[in-house]
Structure 1
Amino acid sequence: MAIQAQLYSDNTGFLDSGGNGHVNGGFNRFCFGHQWRQLQVQPQQQQLQIQQPENQGLCFENNGESVLFCQTMVSQVEEQRREIDQFIKSQNERLRLLLQEQRKQQVAAMAEKLESKATLLLSQKDAELVKATNKTMELQNLVNKLEMENQTWRRVAQENEAMVVSLNNTLGQLQQQNLVGCCFNNGVDDAESCCEETEEEEKNRGFVGTKTMMMVCKCCNSRSSCVLFLPCRHLCSCKDCAAFLDCCPVCSTAKKASIEALIS
């Protein structure tokens, strides 16, 4: 660039001198000046040729250092990337283990809580089962008791029914005896004569006496028998004596019950 500027200034001077009319002087200066300038330019060109390889070497050295620096930086970045990846992996593994342990603890706590609730519910159900079992046993005992009472009352009803039948039979016999006695007395009065009236009256008095002896109380021998003893079914006591008797005065059977017979 300096050489071109110098040549440009020389050319300008040549033109200026031509313009002023000094053609010969300007031409001489131009010719000799050009040779002189060539002599000055050659050392500069040689110096530039010498410096050019040096500059190229410096550029090559700078390029090598840049490549080495880039390789170093790439290796460092790669190493840092690997370290970061390893750190992230380790943190992920640590977080996974931590979450797994936390989940295990939560599951264990929940299981323990559920187990306590289940134990409480089972104990309550066991208590209810025991209570229901006891209630069932009580009901079963009550049913058995009611069955026994039912059988007892059925037996008592059968005994009472038999007693009623016996009383009806006894009352029928008594009524029949009274009817026979009345008919016998009426027939004797109508059939026999007046001369035989005294004899018949004595016989009738004897029959009535026998009947009276049959109906008299076997305990006091004064009042008429009106109480029927059970289970022997003997009509052998008056009402007053029956209250103090524990057994039948005829057969000495233990008295279980007594019924007052209404005999007209």
Structure 2
Amino acid sequence: MDKVRMEIEERRKKQARKIMEAIEVGMMKRLRAKEEEIEKIGKLNWALEERVKSLCVENQIWRDLAQTNEATANALRTNLEQVLAQVKDERTRGPGFLEDDADNENDDVNAGAGPMGAVLADDAQSCCGENDGLEAEAEAAVEVARGEWRSLATADRNDGRNCVVELETTTSNVVARCSSSTGGYNRWCRNCGKEESCVLLLPCRHLCLCTVCGSSLHTCPICKSTKNASVHVNMS
């Protein structure tokens, strides 16, 4: 009996140990799963925190931009109101009042300038006179070029010359020269050869480019000098 009792007791202990081992294994699996879940939740929480930080920074940037735009809009609104008020005031006072103000300001400036104002006025008049003389000289040069071009276009077809019109300006007159070479009459553009020459280059005064080439080239195709300006000559 004692032996049987001991065997039964031993079996109970073995079964109890197996049950405890099974429970322990199950609990370890559950604990491991919970730990993995906690780790995943921690990573997700960290990512969400970083996202919240970036959104806060972006929100601050947009807030600053909105404040800047609002300040700019307020400044523009103030300037617009001032301009409208000034225009309304000028319309209310009328054109006669504005003319009187302008005359008074001119009188004040002339009265306060003294000898220096007279000197500046003389300089301005002399400068205007020089500009008028240059403009008249340029117009005369263009007219001479046009006349010479027409006459050369008629005469040189029969003579078989290749003519290029050059203009020489002096202090008193404008002289047109024609340089001739053998070959057919060349009134076409010296760059493309497709269009009629109608652009006068300065300062070399060669009439040798068409409108398209005159706007694209910066050097004269004849003398290779740098172009400072150009004048379009109407040959019609």
TM over 0.5: no
Higher relative contact order (CA 8 A, sep 6+): 2
TM-score (norm 1): 0.36
TM-score (norm 2): 0.40
